[in-house]
Chain A
């Protein structure tokens, strides 16, 4: 048997290549996730503990005054951790609410990493964080001012630092005696002090820990975050593994079916069933092992490569090249090996049932039409019905757990139904393809189980991608509508000085990125409860530019509406009565609060007429075009506003930051699912390649009968496109169905105004990609098939 095993391995190993690639990709995915996760952990750990590292004790849960006393008592041997939030003025601009923290007196306890210059030693010296220095355009020897009013002080920047830990991160660091200057500022918080040597007495409710304990305490939460992420990534890795198991199982079914006569002959000459089984199983083990080893190597390369890339793109990310994470590597290897063996289990069992006589019968064994067992169909029907019921219940009870169970059950039902369902669908689709397409269709459906397994792998990926894209599109459309209400005007120019000229409106309209712009008339008024005069305007034309259809600007007479986001601290509340005065004319108005247009207060036209007879353009409201580059637009508007003495209020950037996470999430998920789609396409190429091998004689016959090389390639391409297109179509339908269930189950709960939004163009693109990828998958097999000369395929002497 050993000779047979080695000979089979030598002969057939090349046919396993495609299947091995599937396993390699899946294992590489798992190992890559492992390396990245470990890297993130190492990085976080390396930097996180820095503020505690060289101390003997960490005293936390202090009140400010206790911390002050502790630092006073220990002097050089204490390092306070904390910050005050103060306004920093640098390069002529003000930055409110920037963190200002202390630098320890002893060099051992200083945890910030100096990237240039030196640490502050005396009064009037400060170091600035690398990122803030870049933002403010500040470098060593520049001057900055910290604080406002009486406690403001000027500093010279003597160094630039990096903070490896978020624990006590600040934008500017000064010596402790200088920070004490803001001891009475309410924003100052110093709750932790690290100490070298004995701590001595501490207040009762303070906590004294060793640095190790303190680090462990504080990283637990971060660690959870990393774990959650790696769990999520592993979910996608799991999908990839599942898909590659389908591919491997299919490969074994096909290869073993092709070798049926070999096995029968072996049985004829006296091999026991057990001997045949173990020989084939060892083959599977060798393939699994080699593919998994390759996967581990690729995964290591991928993981470390990505870490290096992240480091070079964004040096501050807390990620570091970890030592090789042995558990992950072994885990990946085990998953690959086990997956291969599990996938090969059924095909092997099926093939060793062959009777020795099969070897003696004429050559009909290479094309066994596999029937679907009744039990299988019954199970499929049960799972479909049960899944449907669960999904209905999930929608009624809004239960996510039921939804996942029902979805899973239904999907497995569909997969089991595949051998019946998929060939029918392929036949329906294939009838539109002409005579070559007819041949391709017949080839595609001749072995229903093979067809079903091949398409199943792609079906998984496309279903999930469709569901995710539709679900997220629905959510983001609803969120966008909500954002429209919160940010009705994209950008506004507002003047509290001179009214705007028509000339300025023209200039604004000509600015690139501006879709529409209108002037809004009003007068500058003083409002009781506000420090400064503001423009009070009436905007009957708001609907021209407003994203919410102008609803925000419809104000009843006697009401004044303020944008709470335009004021740093609005002490007024909805319902308050305020006195509004323009020159000598006065009115008492009721306050209404809104958000998202700017400094100007909105009143009804009647109210404005009551306050002034000479209203003039006080604001220009702008609607940006959909392709506008918001940063540039706001910059351009700023350049126009400055000479007119106006301020720019923009909602674009706020909107974008609110939108960005969802967009990033979408594409991250699609990219992760892309792995399993890629594996599925390898699977289609693989099935086609193996089918081509067993159809050499058919192809030769067709060529002899007058099929040109080109037509032969077209036939195989049509077969691959049919397989992938049908899988993609079915996946799209099921995916939209799942998305709808998800929408009914939990999206509607969270966002009441959400309506189902199917992103047709995007799904169309997915379909097209699948079809093109199918075409791509057929290239190599078709070339190989076309190379066979008609005579070569027909010689059997």
Chain B
């Protein structure tokens, strides 16, 4: 859909004067204070910051999970502020993939069912092409032999890789990873980060990762550091 534009545009998503305020009156907290940011297409960008720096809020706003208080977010040419909740949901479904720190998979579904879930939610039939794509992604991510298992029967690293496969199944404009290695040991972390990097390099996927670990950020093509709601 966005293939043609992708050829001419080099920016996958951008934020202008992005501001997020929690609470009201005296209890007001500025989570984001006027962020300006462009995320380059086909690259692996890391957003770094310590706990409370606003990095997760930034990701939520960029991904359309949360509404900004002020400013503008554009993803693949669409102004997210102009969408209502339903339109935003459909937009997320079609253009954005997610990998979270933990609890990425629905416990009652198998790995395969989890991977194709975004397609089913969109009312699409899981046809041969989709099944093939799911298998291809599983192959790339090294979980092809786990497709019939439930999350409780997989290791943490395997779960995260299934989550990445699920995030990629729709071919999204943007893949967000929120502390994807937060719950993993260092070997497994390296593996998962390697796969994210591979997604950007081999599949041309735009990847944005939020992390507080310098080691993780090292896998990225570029790093944006946040402190107290501002880019530094």
Contacts and interface: CB of A to CB of B under 8 A. Distances in A.
Interface in A676-716: 697-698, 701-711
Contact of A706 (B52, B102, B121, B152): B121
Interface stretch (A11-19, A302-310, A370-378, A787-795): A787-795
Contacts of B100: 701, 794
Interface in B147-166: 152, 166
Interface stretch (B83-91, B136-144, B201-209, B222-230): B83-91
A701 B104 contact: yes
A442 B109 contact: yes
B117 A705 contact: yes
Interface string B60-73: 10010110000000
Interface in B39-95: 51-52, 56, 60, 63, 65-66, 85-86, 89-90, 92-94
Contacts of A707: 89, 93, 121
Contacts of B89: 703, 706-709
B101 interface: yes
Interface in A150-200: none
A258 to B, nearest CB: 15
A791 B100 CA distance: 11
A796 B101 contact: yes
Contact of B93 (A363, A701, A706): A706
Given A705-B117, A706-B94, A706-B121, A698 B106 contact: yes
B25 interface: no
Contacts of A565: none
B95 to A, nearest CB: 10
A364 B105 CA distance: 13
A704 B92 contact: yes
A794 B56 CA distance: 10
A438 B121 CA distance: 11
Contacts of B121: 435, 702, 705-707, 711
B191 to A, nearest CB: 19
A797 interface: yes
Nearest to B105: A701
Interface in B189-203: none
A749 B16 CA distance: 86
A794 B52 CA distance: 15
Contact of B65 (A363, A710, A794, A796): A794
Nearest to B98: A704
A796 B104 CA distance: 13
A367 interface: yes
A362 interface: yes
Given A704-B98, A789-B65, A709 B107 contact: no
B9 interface: no
A443 interface: yes
Nearest to A447: B108
A697 B108 contact: no
B213 interface: no
Q: Chain B interface residue count: which class?
A: 20 to 34
B183 A362 contact: yes
B86 A795 contact: no
A446 interface: yes
A708 B86 contact: yes
A442 B113 CA distance: 11
Nearest to B163: A701
A706 B117 CA distance: 10
Interface centre among A710, A711, A797 (most CB of B within 10 A): A797
Contacts of A438: 120
A797 B56 contact: yes
A797 B51 contact: yes
A698 B102 CA distance: 11
A312 B172 CA distance: 71
B90 A708 contact: yes
Contacts of B23: none
B65 A790 contact: yes
A367 B109 CA distance: 13
A442 B152 contact: no
Contact of B118 (A367, A703, A705): A705
B103 A701 contact: yes
Contacts of A704: 63, 65, 92, 98
Contact of B152 (A364, A698, A791): A364
A791 B65 contact: yes
A451 B90 CA distance: 32
B3 interface: no
A442 B108 CA distance: 6
B76 to A, nearest CB: 15
B106 A710 contact: no
Contacts of B93: 705-707
Contact of A367 (B85, B90, B107): B107
B65 A706 contact: no
A791 B94 CA distance: 18
B60 A446 contact: no
A59 to B, nearest CB: 82
Contact of A795 (B56, B94, B108): B56
A183 B109 CA distance: 92
Contacts of B166: 705
Interface string A431-446: 0000100100011001
Contacts of A367: 107
B120 A435 contact: yes
Nearest to B117: A705
Contacts of A442: 106, 108-109
A779 to B, nearest CB: 19
B66 A791 contact: yes
A691 to B, nearest CB: 12
B94 to A, nearest CB: 7
Interface string A754-797: 00000000000000000000000000000000000111001111
B86 A706 contact: no
Point out which of A362, A705, A791 has the most chain B C-beta atoms below 10 A from its C-beta: A705
B59 to A, nearest CB: 9
Nearest to A697: B103
Q: Report the 7 A-B pairs with minimum CB-CB distance, sorted nearest first.
A: A706-B93, A791-B66, A435-B120, A791-B65, A791-B60, A442-B108, A708-B89
14 contacts: A363-B103, A442-B109, A701-B103, A702-B106, A704-B65, A705-B93, A706-B92, A706-B118, A707-B93, A708-B86, A711-B121, A789-B65, A796-B102, A797-B52
Given A702-B121, A795-B56, 7 more contacts: A362-B102, A435-B120, A704-B98, A705-B121, A708-B85, A708-B86, A791-B65
